[in-house]
Structure 1
């Protein structure tokens, strides 16, 4: 019998309130994360990626209504308590380290506090574990740097410290929400390598929220593509990236600049238009107004996520999925970026 998933999300809806009306921001998203696996969730801003992550973590926006199911090792979390889950079984790496690091406590004391929040450790034991955690994420002279304050760390070092804090109790699942957005490319690569190494040591699975498809290609096992609050494609990274069956996924991939693009070449494919507001969703497929293959049925009914023939685990939500060319990126014309 196959091992059950570590995390199973089924029919997740997240509905915040804005100016007195309900906003369908996440609409029936389902996915799984297996033990030791990396699942990347991608999509444009407003796709619902971060709201999905916050609902999984049990920290949706104030007043938001969450329905559906989020199960960690079979235990239902929606509507339940996260008291013995946070830190011990599930941890969070935010986009901005300063949102979780206190400016008035040392880095080492904050990591030690995370240790003592889930285990009966003495202060000395907790501090020793904090130093070990910092050393694990590549902080040189960890014992000395543990006595430093957040403002004494660079942005990349702060992000490493937050990774150390998330991993120090060896959780089963780590949720990382755009963990390298504010970093330059060289530091981003270093932080991602640190995160990968820390995962290998602790055995944690990772739910990675990102907009960077290059990060997905280099670090994820599977990918979930979201648009307008729904999943439009999912599956192992290789088939999704090489033979996408949802035009939106093809558009995202087409928009990537070549790895060694000519600096004088200012022409890149792009997706026309912009994602719809959650309060003004079209009646049928939400991507139809931007899709080069849209026809009448796309405007009348929203497609469901269905299996792609011949590709195990690959799902796509598109009425025209069988009509996509190979490569599907040909669907999108080249546009001037200047």
Structure 2
């Protein structure tokens, strides 16, 4: 088997509160991403998805302690300066383009600066590459629009510009953190298509962080489901979505609105309760307080991520073999409001 382009093992991110107590925010996450592959990280808010992505990139919150292993083509990144790989071999697409675009410089100048930060090239050549990058992501009249400022672009165009900036140096891995959250559905689809086209043109692997399972189903090859800072299920998207082996995954899928909604069914199935705080994790399985299948064994120790199901599916659940088919039946539809 060829070596994965990105290999993460036992990644842990520990934060500190104001009283200097340690908070286990990411707890032993492991995954591989092959060349050209799309891996999606999914889960509710607070699951640790974004923090995992930022730790891989070498940009965790101030004061965070990151341990484990992050290897890019076999080269260990933890403990190395971010500048060693930032932009040249790894790139980032944020949720909000305005967090990375300066309001006082033109779009073209900012992309050209990204080029010159990793390559010894003239301003003219860097500018030319910036225009080419904008053209690649579907910005019409790219040479003229490169002279525009961020406030002169729509939200969808700004997100395209950020994708152009991420891809201009042809990185090997791109991490996209909720890249379409602020966009309406029509523009969302266009931006995702642009991201896919740019990724295919460069051959980059993509780690897509998202809470939207429909986006994941359409765009990802594999999925890693996170809860309370750790992975609870992983595998190829199709078998995981068709026959989840972790109750939490089943609950997320059951909560998706159906294509056709019966007017009498005003409330969708949902997972009762809320995710635990990382400062107060339950003993045993973190999902047990919300799980319809939880038993005595679930309170004893936290289950390991082990093979369960088909096609390389892994699940962290003591009761994975007891799930009904379909597993979404665990979460019954609520009575009409």
Q: Which bin holds the TM-score, normalised by the shorter protein? A: over 0.9
Query: Are 1:268 and 1:337, in contact at CA under 8 Å, matched by a contact in 2?
Result: no
Q: Call closer, same or farther: CA 1:144–1:328 in 2, change over 3 Å.
A: same
Query: Are 1:43 and 1:227, in contact at CA under 8 Å, matched by a contact in 2?
Result: yes
**Per-residue deviation at 1:262?**
4.2
Q: Call closer, same or farther: CA 1:43–1:337 in 2, change over 3 Å.
A: farther
User: What secondary structure is seen at the aligned counterpart in 2 of 1:335?
Assistant: coil
Q: Distance in 1 between matches of 2:151 and 2:199?
A: 26
**Per-residue deviation at 1:308?**
1.5
Alignment of structure 1 residues 1-338 onto 2, 5 Å: 2-19=1-18, 20-262=20-262, 265-309=265-309, 311-335=310-334
CA RMSD of aligned residues (A): 1.1
Deviates more, 1:88-97 or 1:264-273: 264-273
Aligned residues: 336
Unaligned runs of 5+ in 1: none
Q: Distance in 1 between matches of 2:26 and 2:132?
A: 39
Query: Are 2:265 and 2:336, in contact at CA under 8 Å, matched by a contact in 1?
Result: no
Unaligned runs of 5+ in 2: none
Q: Distance in 1 between matches of 2:260 and 2:243?
A: 22
User: What secondary structure is seen at the aligned counterpart in 1 of 2:186?
Assistant: helix
Q: Distance in 2 between matches of 1:263 and 1:24?
A: 43
User: Deviation string for 1:287-324 (max 9, x for gaps)?
Assistant: 00000000000011110000115x13210000000000
**Per-residue deviation at 1:263?**
5.6
Query: Are 2:87 and 2:114, in contact at CA under 8 Å, matched by a contact in 1?
Result: yes
Query: Are 2:293 and 2:319, in contact at CA under 8 Å, matched by a contact in 1?
Result: yes
**Per-residue deviation at 1:77?**
0.7
Give the alignment's TM-score, normalised by structure 2.
Answer: 0.98
**Per-residue deviation at 1:82?**
2.6
Q: Distance in 2 between matches of 1:84 and 1:285?
A: 38
